[in-house]
Structure 1
């Protein structure tokens, strides 16, 4: 089972949120979308980045890919 940054096991909802974050990171990194769509993916990624950071699920600068 996955754990957060302080060692607590993730709940099903936390894992779902982290999965969505990872999925958006992959989508943004893949490129090939229309410029306006890529911009909107980045906005969504930034919002999820705040959520996963607040829950201590993952911490990274969005220019890194450490999680």
Structure 2
């Protein structure tokens, strides 16, 4: 995935579909991203009841620390 920065905010720019598939996201779930380092974010997925859902990333095998972004701008 890539992110795009605008001021103090970052947005997912490309690769959302691949991320959603790799993390088995379903309609009604929400995702939080917490920046850990320049290219790594911790990810927490919540279901429709706001309960944390632990899923394994198909690409990295880690449940919470697997997203490597390339930052743009």
Structure with the larger helix share: 1
Tell whether the structures are fold-level matches, with TM greater than 0.5: no
Normalized per residue, the structure richer in strand is 2
- TM-score, normalising length from structure 2? 0.26
TM normalised by structure 1 equals 0.28
